[in-house]
Amino acid sequence: MYCIQSRRQPIQTGGICVSRGGLGRNRQGEGAQGPKWPGQAPLGPLMAATLIASIDQFANSDDTIHIAIVCAGYNASRDVVTLVKSVLFHRRNPLHFHFITDSIARKILADLFHTWMVPAVHVNFYDADELKSEVSWIPNKHYSGIYGLMKLVLTKTLPSDLQKVIVLDTDITFATDIAELWVVFHKFKGQQVLGLVENQSDWYLGNLWKNHRPWPALGRGFNTGVILLLLDRLRKLKWEQMWRLTAERELMSMLSTSLADQDIFNAVIKQNPFLVHQLPCFWNVQLSDHTRSEKCYKDVSDLKVIHWNSPKKLRVKNKHVEFFRNLYLTFLEYDGNLLRRELFGCPSETDHNSENLQKTLSELDEDDPCYEFRRERFTVHRTHVYFLHYEYEPALDNTDVTLVAQLSMDRLQMLEAICKHWEGPISLALYLSDAEAQQFLRYAQGSEVLMSRSNVGYHIVYKEGQFYPVNLLRNVAMGQVNTPYMFLSDIDFLPMYGLYEYLRKSGVQLDMGNTKKALVVPAFETLRYRLSFPKSKAELLSQLDMGTLFTFRYHVWTKGHAPTDFAKWRTATTPYRVQWEADFEPYVMVRRESPEYDRRFVGFGWNKVAHIMELDAQVTLIFIKGIVHPKITICSPSGNPRSELLSQLDMGTLFTFR
């Protein structure tokens, strides 16, 4: 077992810090009769003393709030962000997240937290693959699979000096400060080591359908979506041996679990009821099939935690489901950048990344007319790589090529067309707000074309500031390429049919794996709304002669593609070398190790020119032979292929600096 930490510097893990004023932040004054809140009569001496003791007990606690979450795969990595947002929104304390993850979730969440840069948050990752052997012997019918059993081994997985932890499912939403749940540990008595809410369905009563035979449970049983674990006491009670013996015994007759770890937890509690401290039901309001959760609260304002523990999720039936759904959607679309706020009165270890960033920003001259541009260079954009499911099988011949592009919300309509034209892997960086990311998710999930492709990586770079960070987006997309070569394109270009296979063959023919070369792909445009896509070079030349097609940007910026030498291209049958000239900005296929774009460029203009200049200094620019079908832009409603791009940006973003 080993622990993988995120790249952020760890914070101080000792001491719970409360915002200025602590839990009594609304107190206006305290007299001899105790604290007084606005609009309330003074509290009696006994009640006031009890309340003050309760507040002091919380404020003087020595523990950071520790949270353990099992998270595996692309979908769970996306869903858990909403849980984290809800916790961060309400919290007034340092947090320490312990994620038990597979390699996929670890990569996604490590990048996310590293770029999120939330103060007073510490994150550790534990390899779920190393834990599989501990629970793989247990047959499990639950949709969570083997990962649904890993809460059973937390006493063995988490650090031996960690005494207590709150364990959460990924489909949880908090409606209050998690510190209120943390202090419940003080209410544990005797040998109580598990804090659980009673199950709110009749599952364990065995009366849901004929011949329904659930695992043994105490009464209605308990739900494990929210668990308070006293790890030190569990270890002393030999928890590992306890749950294993119980599982082995019950599996002889039950054969498999239906609700994963929850069945085994309940079987243990059935035999050892003294282990459990029952939490009030508002700490885990369960919205599952057959639930009776509405009976556990008088008013929706009583709720603390909502648990979407039905496969139907937001489509579950409940008379207050609209309230629950709106609460969930609030955090789903909430701007995560707003959660970077500092905590008042919470001493913690200095985060060197944040400290260096603040020092760099303080050295900038705010009176400089280019201050905002210079500041953008140092902006850390929150990034969620692989927002959707992704699968890629590396080509055995080591010739594969990934199409790389970036886009904003108004270019979503290009995705289906590009996927139809390019069958190879694609890496896309999308510049979106949190709300737009959810719109994109709905769009993608509703598209048969996009859902039929699993080799497209969608990487969300969340909006921040007034500029469009075009080169940062390109770098993010390039950073997730896992093929030997990449084709650096733009979102409003459609590759010719078959370009993917042609580029793979060209890379071999030109020995690009052993030489420094870049393949230039010719670019053309049309001003028509509809176009019969050319299927051969002869058709392309005919459309050029008829004025249906034009060389790209011929009427706006001829210098951008002039070195391509289209006159020579018309008759060329073999590759030829291209001489770099100032302002040259072609679309190229290069090796994955090629230099990144200069992220100082934002908005529109010169961003690719500088990159091509650097490429030319390192590689030889080769124009691919003339039999290739060229790229061609899709036309915009305005008749200008670039006008939409310009209109989407603030005019200030059209200026760049070096």
In whole angstroms, what is the distance from residue 34 CA to residue 45 CA? 6
Question: CA dist 86 to 80, 175, 293, 387, Å?
Answer: 10, 7, 21, 19
Q: Has residue 46 been placed in a domain? A: no
Q: Is 441 exposed, middle or buried (0-12, 13-18, 19+ CB in 10 A)?
A: middle
pLDDT reading at 629 higher than 70: no
pLDDT bracket for residue 411 (50, 70, 90)? very high
Section 650-655 average pLDDT: 22
Q: Has residue 371 been placed in a domain? A: no
In whole angstroms, what is the distance from residue 8 CA to residue 198 CA? 38
Q: What percent of the chain has pLDDT over 90?
A: 49
In whole angstroms, what is the distance from residue 27 CA to residue 21 CA? 8
654 three-state secondary structure: helix
18 three-state secondary structure: coil
pLDDT bracket for residue 650 (50, 70, 90)? very low
pLDDT bracket for residue 56 (50, 70, 90)? very low
Query: Is the domain of 67 the same as that of 202?
Result: yes
In whole angstroms, what is the distance from residue 531 CA to residue 533 CA? 6
Which of 306, 322, 339 corresponds to the end of one domain?
339
Residues in the chain: 658
Residue 447: which residues within 8 A CB-CB, separation 6 or more? 415, 416
The answer to whether the beta carbons of residues 487 and 421 sit under 8 Å apart is no
pLDDT of 519-553, one tens digit each?
988 888 888 777 788 888 888 889 889 988 888 87
In whole angstroms, what is the distance from residue 474 CA to residue 428 CA? 8
2 three-state secondary structure: coil
pLDDT of 306-317, one tens digit each?
998 765 555 556
pLDDT of 112-149, one tens digit each?
999 999 999 999 999 999 999 999 999 898 888 899 99
DSSP single-letter state for residue 568: H
Q: Which of 471, 577, 475 lies closest to 518 in space, CA to CA?
A: 577
Position 653 scores a pLDDT of 22
Q: Has residue 360 been placed in a domain? A: no
pLDDT reading at 633 higher than 90: no
Query: Is the domain of 204 the same as that of 289?
Result: yes
Position 388 scores a pLDDT of 98
Query: Is the domain of 334 the same as that of 427?
Result: no
Position 297 scores a pLDDT of 65
Q: Given the structure tokens 């050892």, which residue do they identify?
A: 272
pLDDT bracket for residue 578 (50, 70, 90)? confident
Q: Has residue 27 been placed in a domain? A: no
Q: What sign does the dihedral 525-530-533-539 (CA atoms) show?
A: negative
Q: What sign does the dihedral 526-532-538-543 (CA atoms) show?
A: negative
CATH number at residue 108: 3.90.550.10
Element (H, E) at 462: strand 456-462
Section 228-244 average pLDDT: 96
The answer to whether the beta carbons of residues 228 and 166 sit under 8 Å apart is yes
**For the chain, what is the domain count?**
2
Bridge-partner residues for 218, per DSSP?
none
Which of 339, 359, 391 corresponds to the end of one domain?
339
Q: Which of 8-17, 207-216, 545-554, 645-654 has the highest mean predicted lDDT (pLDDT)?
A: 545-554
pLDDT of 244-293, one tens digit each?
999 999 999 889 998 889 999 999 999 999 999 999 999 999 886 666 65
Q: Given the structure tokens 């951008």, which residue do they identify?
A: 560
The answer to whether the beta carbons of residues 507 and 401 sit under 8 Å apart is yes
Query: Is the domain of 318 the same as that of 400?
Result: no
More confident residue, 333 or 3: 333
Query: Is the domain of 179 the same as that of 317?
Result: yes
Which of 339, 369, 403 corresponds to the end of one domain?
339
Q: Has residue 621 been placed in a domain? A: yes
Query: Is the domain of 174 the same as that of 258?
Result: yes
b/e per residue, 543-552, with b = 16+ CB within 10 A?
bbeeebbbbb
In whole angstroms, what is the distance from residue 331 CA to residue 83 CA? 8
Section 46-57 average pLDDT: 44
Q: Has residue 446 been placed in a domain? A: yes
Query: Is the domain of 304 the same as that of 400?
Result: no
Q: Which of 615, 536, 622, 607 lies closest to 577 in space, CA to CA?
A: 622
Query: Is the domain of 621 the same as that of 481?
Result: yes
> Angle at Cα 305 formed by Cα 325 and Cα 152, nearest 5°?
120
Query: Is the domain of 330 the same as that of 393?
Result: no
Query: Is the domain of 217 the same as that of 283?
Result: yes
Beta strands, E only, 102-233? 121-127, 164-168, 172-174, 194-198, 222-230
Q: Has residue 156 been placed in a domain? A: yes
Q: Has residue 19 been placed in a domain? A: no
Residue range(s) defining the domain that contains residue 307: 3-11+51-339
Alpha helices in 367-455 (DSSP H): 371-376, 414-421, 434-445, 448-451
Q: What average pLDDT is seen over the chain?
A: 81
Element (H, E) at 267: helix 261-271
The answer to whether the beta carbons of residues 406 and 470 sit under 8 Å apart is yes
Element (H, E) at 587: strand 587-591
Query: Is the domain of 335 the same as that of 400?
Result: no
pLDDT bracket for residue 599 (50, 70, 90)? confident
The answer to whether the beta carbons of residues 401 and 591 sit under 8 Å apart is no
The least confident of 345-349, 391-395, 595-599, 636-640 is 636-640
In whole angstroms, what is the distance from residue 529 CA to residue 635 CA? 6
pLDDT reading at 302 higher than 80: no
Query: Is the domain of 314 the same as that of 389?
Result: no
Q: Are strands 587-591 and 485-488 parallel, antiparallel or unpaired?
A: antiparallel
The two tokens of residue 399 are: 């010739």
